[in-house]
Amino acid sequence: MSDTIKTLALADIDIDGALRETAERLPTRGQLLRRGAQATAVGVLATGLLPGTAQARAKHADNDVAILNFALTLEYLQAAFYTQAERVGALRGALAKQARVVGSHERAHVKAFQETLGRRAAKSPSFNFRGTTDSPDAFRATAVAFEDLAVGAYKEQLPKIHSDRYLAAAVAIHSVEARHAAWIRYLAGIVPAEHAFDASLPDDETVQIVNATHFVTLHAPQTSTQHAPEFTG
């Protein structure tokens, strides 16, 4: 991952994050393995165990909802960031265009996840971007960090999604996040594709990085930017 992300992760950790709440509902690797074993057993014992099958299906569905809500919360964060950058209006030229187009994508991702999840969709936390939307330099560095983060975070979740329908949606979004990452890196003058293989980012690290930014606030954010009110989703 980029140096920018490492820099952000160095800040002290805010344990208040809404992202952490959604992350805690994610299945751990151990749980997934156990569920995998159960599912196999159900398959082997075949038709006699229908209630067991239904139970396994319900668990898969719960896991999928947790994963989608985790992704939704990341999308809330990104959508709010670009929306605020656009409102503040400190960006010009190619950077302004990037914020406008990518912002529209992130808002579309939020909408797609909300529609898929229906009543089970997580609510948007409040955000305070602490001045990072106020100048082109701060915006650029933060956007690089966010987009690389999203690529790694999605990568971690994709193979854990059980439903093919959800997977198709997440895969299509995942590669767009990678395009966003390459785009902003290009505008920042750094190599858009730094490595032959993108690493996945474990949930706890994703949460840690986001919390280190202090962008996610539990309560209504205070106004710290000079130009515009905070976006609250």
Partner 1 sequence: MSTDGDRGDVLPRAALIKRVAISLGGLSAAGAAAAGLASASRSSASSLSSRDREVLEFALRFEQLQTAFYSQALRDGKLTGQAKQFAKIVGQQEQAHLRYLERALGHTSKAPAFRFGDATDDNTKFIATAVKIEDTGVAAYNGQAENMSRTLLGSIDRVISVEARHAAWARSLAGILPAPVPDDVPITASKALKTIKPYLG
Footprint on this chain of partner 1 (rule: CB under 8 A): 40, 43-44, 101-102, 104-105, 108-109, 112, 151, 154-155, 158-161, 164-165, 167-169, 171-183, 186, 191-193, 195-200
**Quick one: 72 or 176, whose CB is closer to partner 1?**
176
Q: Token pair for residue 18? A: 């809404």
Partner residues linked to 56 by β-bridges: none
Residues 6+ apart with CB under 8 A from 53: 42
Rg (the chain; Cα; Å): 19
Minimum CB separation of residue 131 from partner 1 in Å reads 26
**Residue 176: what are its φ and ψ, rounded to 5°?**
-70, -35
**Quick one: 11 or 101, whose CB is closer to partner 1?**
101
Minimum CB separation of residue 73 from partner 1 in Å reads 18
Partner residues linked to 126 by β-bridges: 217
Residues 6+ apart with CB under 8 A from 117: 65, 68, 69, 72
**Quick one: 49 or 228, whose CB is closer to partner 1?**
49
**Quick one: 154 or 230, whose CB is closer to partner 1?**
154
Kind and range of the H or E run holding 108: helix 93-117
Q: How far is CA 182 from CA 124, 163, 177, 179, in A?
A: 26, 29, 9, 5
To the nearest 10 degrees (0 to 180), the angle between helices 50-88 and 164-187 is: 30
**Quick one: 154 or 231, whose CB is closer to partner 1?**
154
**Quick one: 154 or 216, whose CB is closer to partner 1?**
154
Other CB atoms closer than 10 Å to residue 192's CB: what's the count?
14
Minimum CB separation of residue 6 from partner 1 in Å reads 19
Half-sphere exposure of 190 (CA within 13 A, CB side): 18
Minimum CB separation of residue 214 from partner 1 in Å reads 27
**Quick one: 138 or 188, whose CB is closer to partner 1?**
188
Minimum CB separation of residue 204 from partner 1 in Å reads 18
Asked if 64 and 35 touch (Cβ cutoff 8 Å), the reply is no
Minimum CB separation of residue 200 from partner 1 in Å reads 7
Minimum CB separation of residue 38 from partner 1 in Å reads 12
